[in-house]
Structure 1
């Protein structure tokens, strides 16, 4: 039988997958000798069993009972003991940090009898005891019994009647407990459970179940966390920050997670429990204030923070409680940080000798780099600052003010940019935070729910703008000076400065983009950090990074961004606009003479295009895909042309009439699977030959050119051989050398890659079409139709057009790589689908043995960084 429960003294941080991040780090801090309240952790394995079967796994309750007995013996108290109660917290903790997405219940063990024992423990402090009891009923009712949280909130607000939480007296809180118990009875038909052991079992089951709560599912989908991991549950003896003004709770970071700067950073709240800080319901004190409040505790906390950062060799996020002058550590983890902070901290740690450059590159991600490339607000725009809050998560966000998650989601689905405005956010607001461009709150500190979640997602956030009076009911907020902002009004928020503007503020390019463009301020600290890590990334990565570019302008930008060539030049894009009529002439050609005339008109234009691209790439390889148009993309719409001719009657142009006849002849029910790619080149003589001649002439005009000719949509080696032989003859006549290969985008091509490699000198995986054909659906048709439902049902963890489907499409890629190189060991392999710029897909491409990835110019820095991280990840796994 598996072991389901581990004491804090039995685990360590290497057991994160089994004990969850919280449990593993509690064990690690215990091993370091830090002041951690005793407790134990129930494993993720137990959670997975519970979620599969709907009941606690066999033997778990006995294991819990044994560890609880040991805890009671160590503490000298029994759970819920009437005269001297042991109370525990039951807290979730998955392997990956999911702040606020799952459930926690504090003060398990309180009932009508033990509340008096708790007051006795606290030296007769009845206010503290009844405050703890009402918190248990409130959290238990919402989390375990599924009662709407607003019912408890409303009851509390009615009782307060304008007073502060701390102004409530013991009698008030005793009355509130009675009210809360009535709420429980009214909505469950049963009394609040008095049995402390039943409380704990129900709480454990509720925490397990919260793994599949809608907000947790949504967060995992957003952060690409696997859905089958489950959460651990940590059962920890309670320590209390709400015992009086000599007690409190706080959240601290060993460095500023917003900027990366070293220093004292965090929030503290006297006479409070931890949920009060992260919920943002009371505005906190800066952590530095603890030095004045309780200097010995402050000094011990500073020492503990240094110990943890040195041990974890990274920014640490810490939750702590002070109970009557005694410091207790409740949690630590490697802290979430903004993208800018991630780059700065990584370089700082290198300079301090804590990590080397290899590890520094693994500490930053392509997604973070992409966020640094977003625009920022221009300075001195004359825009009106109507309020200021805390700069919780940097960025420049502009949108319509909305005051509810539902409205944010609704407007975002209509293509509107929105800013979610709340007094404070809670986990139920996650969908709105994802939909919004940014988040603005009037309450909460830099460690509040809004700040932590926004930083983790890369959303702009300004929180704790106390001067704002937010009315969710009226859908307005009022700023100083009487400025009223109603729902739908445009506002701008600056997560770097904390400024809130009325109206739209102009944006300017990011300094990181200016750096990649070759301009910008090289003395900027962030730019220096990016430059240093990107330079090292280019030194260590194995795969090259190329660009998908169809114009000289895109090619030039790609080169500035670090492209090592072009992996996909789509020639069909060159026939749009004014040139479209030339393609129509080609389709309408009824004789060889008419066809040759149409091709002759296209050829010099193609040569001009290729010449400009070859010049922009200055001798780097350029892979040109011969024309691959579904013909419907280059011809008029059948219905529109029919109506046009009908309205014109006898005066309809002859070309329009001929086009209509051609459209009837060429009509395809599914043009994406029809006459396109190599098929078009074989059926319409001269098309590919014209393009190859244009490539050859352009290469001759630009010395040092390295063209690579790619034949699209090949499914059989015989198709490729026909085009290859014709192309080789044209190249030989021109005296130009070029590799000839194919795009693997048809499943049959992947499965017969050994044959195709006999005629191809390179493969480039066109994973957009390969995904469509493998799954049997068209992206254009189905993304809006059912992808959202498939994501909700868990059929997809992420869209297969966003991240490569490793099990299906990826398996075809692996087969093609293995078979292709079995025939031609020096076969060059790349990917040019949109997956070429996706971090997870890049790591797959590295493992599969590809030589390069190709992506849009703007994604090239991301691909460069992720290719290096993939190299380092594989090297690290080889050594373990």
Structure 2
């Protein structure tokens, strides 16, 4: 049993320009707690509080509630005493009450994924004291109804009964609004709020069978445990899995003195960004609400106002509101509270310079006093990420290496997605306008519920507003559209973090979940109807809008040039066609690491000749069929060589088992028999003969070439002739012929002899030569172990980690989907080894194979061409073990180039 250290610090305090922690302690204090401590230390006005460490969450998951509460009870009580001293009020006191907030805080930002409780410490007596103390009965009872609503949902499990239903507390409020003829929460009277508190508590008693807890300490422990539990809630688990965050990180718990944005018209709350999170522009921006608490802004229940005048004018233009009306009804914070705005503007400048990155800040204005509740490195789109990094570099805030390390590799993928064709946009019908919450182009069929996002191949999730429970559906959908919410709503923030196109706050949309309809200006749209979203402008289009491929330009191109300066490992591409080769080269690929020749045989005009070769009973018959394929293969190679002129091109000889090329349906078998003038039974017999119990471990790879050498002869001739043809045109070719699935030295030698003999024959025929290499794909564990012997003959190694992973684990790639998700869910595996290289097992075979190969041949060229060649952590591993290159799909090339540069920078630190 693990020995628990009862002496170590588990609770860290902050406040009044002092703190136990700092921003470098994110692993222990979580991002929120570490930044609260840092802000407090540098003089930013932060409400005092304390952080329970992430380690306590891990202890809670291992030991349970009773043991963990006993471990931290004394420290928590002392920390509450400290808040009481700094705030001059007492937790649970009737006359001078201290209320607190309880928030989660993982080491990385997980917006909306875990739980928060505000106004904790209220009960029927304390609310009277709060009303008397503040001389604001409206505020006190509004805070109480909010507390019951949040605590009920987060701690007591008061959730909607079904997806068509609304939150039970919201249902009670909507009923009262209808009865009173009002629309906003701020229109409730004091008596309304008292009635809501009573009805809320009755709803809790009815649903849970227990009274709402009244003891503030019971409330506090309930909220702390709820935050710990939320770390393993469905949405947090899904978010962690989506981003590859380990389950053992845990979350911290942050407890802070409450400051109130709902005390009247001189109070408010908001969220702001030091730069535009969508575009990266160096423009201070954000949203706020008067007489509100923080959750009101992100929940999207009320459409917030803009912080700056410029932002307000842009919002008004998008919302089709006249400037006079805008200034009167929707003033910016800059216009409404100029002194508060100036103070906030000053803090955002201090914090961005301090952290040297774009900041996402939350603030509250209580009775004319500004408090900063949180800062963190802001979530941003891929385009904004690149622009911000390059702008910070140009502004001298960071250096070149820091600019490269500021980039999150996988988010570059967003810049490589299709965009709307400008010509198609001119013809498109704009059905409605919303706010441009997250850039991009999305076309899909309408779905109204997150758990039905996979109903169509391409879907657009349409919601009144999203909630954290919608995360999986948001991830599946091509785009997100909401009727409510601003640029800092849940939908907007999460979509930007995902790189997902999002349009929010489209007020003209009337959504009916029960009938599954969307009505805009009298026109009704149904589930399954096509719409398109432009997340850069907020336009919502009727039907499909054509898209076009992106290009590497602007700051993106500058970033890639910077990556080339620091990257020491080459990046190639996996490409089977000239088109793919050209795309990859435009993204900076330095050659081709894998061309799969079998893909060239499946086209209609080629599969017939391939099948004739397979069905032939003699060498002569097979050679005749292969003669038909030779000019086709040669032409393919010429196109690829031309696209990559001057760069190395690795071509893998035929790899899959022959049964993949023969027809398995009766109708196609009959057609083949008629075309070849043989009996149907002969075709059936051949198909049956080729059938294997385990074809991936059967007659494939070099085993094919060694049993049917004429296949290797034809492919070698096609490669060499193609290179010579282009040489005559003045185009330099660098072919590398790769023998697949080698497990023994003799297998390699037998294939090499055929290749060399064929190449020499062609050289004699053409009276000319080209340089070429012969190497192998290391994808059988035995090959990695025998690498020193194989390297005596092979001129290069390319690790095929798809099959190497399959054979090392003993997992069939085709069948692993039945158990891998369960393994990951149970923690047996942290990640899918077919997506992320298993560095502990498969990686050690790769490292061993590289070392043994180079022990024989020090200048042996080594690369990787499996799917892992474009996965960031796998690429970094390849650099660290000394590979010459990685190879990945064309659209992953920029990502691999960036990671190669980042790996070199990290290794030199």
**Alignment TM-score, normalising by the size of structure 2:** 0.90
- In structure 1, the residue matched to 2:268 is 248
Deviation at 1:791, TM superposition (A): 4.7
Asked if 1:421 is matched to 2:462, the reply is: yes
Query: For the residues of structure 1 that align with 2:874 and 2:786, how far apart are their CA atoms?
Result: 23
Contact kept, 8 Å, 1:387 with 1:500, in 2: the verdict is yes
- In structure 1, the residue matched to 2:870 is 837
Query: For the residues of structure 1 that align with 2:510 and 2:714, how far apart are their CA atoms?
Result: 68
Secondary structure (helix, strand or coil) at the match of 2:247 reads: coil
Deviation at 1:321, TM superposition (A): 0.3
1:296-375 alignment, distance < 5 Å: 296-375=339-418
- In structure 2, the residue matched to 1:522 is none
| Deviation larger for 674-683 or 753-762 | 753-762
Match of 2:64 among 44, 54, 70: 54
Asked if 1:83 is matched to 2:111, the reply is: no
Secondary structure (helix, strand or coil) at the match of 2:743 reads: coil
| Deviation larger for 301-310 or 696-705 | 696-705
- In structure 1, the residue matched to 2:859 is 826
- In structure 2, the residue matched to 1:408 is 453
| Deviation larger for 322-331 or 256-265 | 256-265
- In structure 1, the residue matched to 2:714 is 690
Deviation at 1:814, TM superposition (A): 2.1
Secondary structure (helix, strand or coil) at the match of 1:263 reads: coil
Asked if 1:561 is matched to 2:587, the reply is: yes
Query: For the residues of structure 1 that align with 2:667 and 2:821, how far apart are their CA atoms?
Result: 32
Contact kept, 8 Å, 2:670 with 2:680, in 1: the verdict is no
Contact kept, 8 Å, 2:534 with 2:540, in 1: the verdict is yes
Contact kept, 8 Å, 2:709 with 2:754, in 1: the verdict is no
- Report the CA distance shift for 1:382/1:688 in structure 2 as closer, same or farther (over 3 A): closer
Secondary structure (helix, strand or coil) at the match of 2:663 reads: coil
Secondary structure (helix, strand or coil) at the match of 1:581 reads: helix
Deviation at 1:645, TM superposition (A): 9.4
- In structure 1, the residue matched to 2:313 is none
- Report the CA distance shift for 1:715/1:639 in structure 2 as closer, same or farther (over 3 A): farther
Query: For the residues of structure 1 that align with 2:105 and 2:340, how far apart are their CA atoms?
Result: 27
- Report the CA distance shift for 1:602/1:471 in structure 2 as closer, same or farther (over 3 A): closer
Q: How many residues align?
A: 852
Deviation at 1:475, TM superposition (A): 1.8
Asked if 1:751 is matched to 2:785, the reply is: yes
Contact kept, 8 Å, 1:641 with 1:660, in 2: the verdict is no
Query: For the residues of structure 1 that align with 2:396 and 2:33, how far apart are their CA atoms?
Result: 29
Deviation at 1:642, TM superposition (A): 6.4
Deviation at 1:772, TM superposition (A): 2.2
Match of 1:7 among 13, 32, 53: 13
Asked if 1:437 is matched to 2:506, the reply is: no
Asked if 1:762 is matched to 2:774, the reply is: no
- In structure 2, the residue matched to 1:532 is 558
Query: For the residues of structure 1 that align with 2:580 and 2:125, how far apart are their CA atoms?
Result: 74
1:379-398 alignment, distance < 5 Å: 379=422, 380-398=425-443
Deviation at 1:346, TM superposition (A): 1.4
Query: For the residues of structure 2 that align with 1:467 and 1:112, how far apart are their CA atoms?
Result: 41
- Report the CA distance shift for 1:446/1:4 in structure 2 as closer, same or farther (over 3 A): same
- In structure 2, the residue matched to 1:617 is 644
Q: For each residue in 1:394-434, what CA deviation from the matched residue of structure 2 results, as whole angstroms up to 9, or x when unmatched?
A: 1111112222112224x14xx2x111111111111112211
Contact kept, 8 Å, 1:378 with 1:508, in 2: the verdict is yes
Deviation at 1:694, TM superposition (A): 3.1
- In structure 2, the residue matched to 1:805 is 838
- In structure 1, the residue matched to 2:144 is 133
Query: For the residues of structure 2 that align with 1:557 and 1:392, how far apart are their CA atoms?
Result: 30
- In structure 1, the residue matched to 2:85 is 73
Deviation at 1:792, TM superposition (A): 4.3
- In structure 1, the residue matched to 2:811 is 777
Contact kept, 8 Å, 1:441 with 1:463, in 2: the verdict is yes
- In structure 1, the residue matched to 2:27 is 17
Q: For each residue in 1:25-52, what CA deviation from the matched residue of structure 2 results, as whole angstroms up to 9, or x when unmatched?
A: 0001001101001111000000011012
Asked if 1:552 is matched to 2:585, the reply is: no
- In structure 1, the residue matched to 2:304 is 284
- In structure 2, the residue matched to 1:184 is 204
- In structure 1, the residue matched to 2:169 is 152
**Alignment TM-score, normalising by the size of structure 1:** 0.93
Query: For the residues of structure 2 that align with 1:192 and 1:603, how far apart are their CA atoms?
Result: 80
Secondary structure (helix, strand or coil) at the match of 2:231 reads: helix
Asked if 1:457 is matched to 2:483, the reply is: no
Query: For the residues of structure 1 that align with 2:525 and 2:625, how far apart are their CA atoms?
Result: 60
Secondary structure (helix, strand or coil) at the match of 1:135 reads: helix
Query: For the residues of structure 2 that align with 1:857 and 1:190, how far apart are their CA atoms?
Result: 59
Secondary structure (helix, strand or coil) at the match of 2:252 reads: strand
Secondary structure (helix, strand or coil) at the match of 1:492 reads: strand
- In structure 1, the residue matched to 2:746 is 718
| Deviation larger for 72-81 or 582-591 | 582-591
Q: For each residue in 1:132-156, what CA deviation from the matched residue of structure 2 results, as whole angstroms up to 9, or x when unmatched?
A: 1111111111111112251111111
Match of 1:632 among 637, 656, 659: 659
Asked if 1:120 is matched to 2:161, the reply is: no
- In structure 1, the residue matched to 2:755 is 727
Contact kept, 8 Å, 2:102 with 2:253, in 1: the verdict is yes
Contact kept, 8 Å, 1:599 with 1:687, in 2: the verdict is yes
- Report the CA distance shift for 1:245/1:673 in structure 2 as closer, same or farther (over 3 A): same
Q: For each residue in 1:332-358, what CA deviation from the matched residue of structure 2 results, as whole angstroms up to 9, or x when unmatched?
A: 001011111112111211121111222
Query: For the residues of structure 1 that align with 2:225 and 2:816, how far apart are their CA atoms?
Result: 38
| Deviation larger for 858-867 or 162-171 | 858-867
- In structure 1, the residue matched to 2:231 is 211
- Report the CA distance shift for 1:672/1:115 in structure 2 as closer, same or farther (over 3 A): same
Contact kept, 8 Å, 1:607 with 1:694, in 2: the verdict is yes
| Deviation larger for 165-174 or 301-310 | 165-174
Q: For each residue in 1:513-565, what CA deviation from the matched residue of structure 2 results, as whole angstroms up to 9, or x when unmatched?
A: 2xx4xxxxxxxxxx321121111111211111112122333333332332211
Contact kept, 8 Å, 2:614 with 2:658, in 1: the verdict is no
Deviation at 1:591, TM superposition (A): 3.2
- Report the CA distance shift for 1:765/1:204 in structure 2 as closer, same or farther (over 3 A): same
Q: For each residue in 1:715-766, what CA deviation from the matched residue of structure 2 results, as whole angstroms up to 9, or x when unmatched?
A: 1222112222333344455354322211011122223323322332211111
Contact kept, 8 Å, 1:731 with 1:738, in 2: the verdict is no
CA RMSD of aligned residues (A): 2.2
- In structure 2, the residue matched to 1:519 is none
Deviation at 1:24, TM superposition (A): 0.3
Query: For the residues of structure 2 that align with 1:303 and 1:598, how far apart are their CA atoms?
Result: 77
- Report the CA distance shift for 1:387/1:67 in structure 2 as closer, same or farther (over 3 A): same
Deviation at 1:787, TM superposition (A): 4.6
- Report the CA distance shift for 1:627/1:107 in structure 2 as closer, same or farther (over 3 A): same
Query: For the residues of structure 2 that align with 1:420 and 1:436, how far apart are their CA atoms?
Result: 6
- In structure 2, the residue matched to 1:523 is none
Secondary structure (helix, strand or coil) at the match of 1:46 reads: helix
1:213-228 alignment, distance < 5 Å: 213-228=233-248
Secondary structure (helix, strand or coil) at the match of 1:676 reads: coil
Q: For each residue in 1:200-244, what CA deviation from the matched residue of structure 2 results, as whole angstroms up to 9, or x when unmatched?
A: 111111100100000111111122222210000011011111111
- Report the CA distance shift for 1:694/1:278 in structure 2 as closer, same or farther (over 3 A): same
Secondary structure (helix, strand or coil) at the match of 2:850 reads: helix
- In structure 1, the residue matched to 2:601 is 575
| Deviation larger for 106-115 or 766-775 | 766-775
Q: For each residue in 1:93-148, what CA deviation from the matched residue of structure 2 results, as whole angstroms up to 9, or x when unmatched?
A: 000100010001111111111111111221x2111111111111111111111122
Secondary structure (helix, strand or coil) at the match of 2:85 reads: helix
Contact kept, 8 Å, 1:101 with 1:219, in 2: the verdict is yes
- Report the CA distance shift for 1:294/1:847 in structure 2 as closer, same or farther (over 3 A): same
- In structure 2, the residue matched to 1:871 is 904
- In structure 1, the residue matched to 2:320 is none
Q: Unaligned stretches of 5+ in structure 2?
A: 161-166, 309-331, 764-768
- Report the CA distance shift for 1:499/1:203 in structure 2 as closer, same or farther (over 3 A): same
Deviation at 1:573, TM superposition (A): 2.1
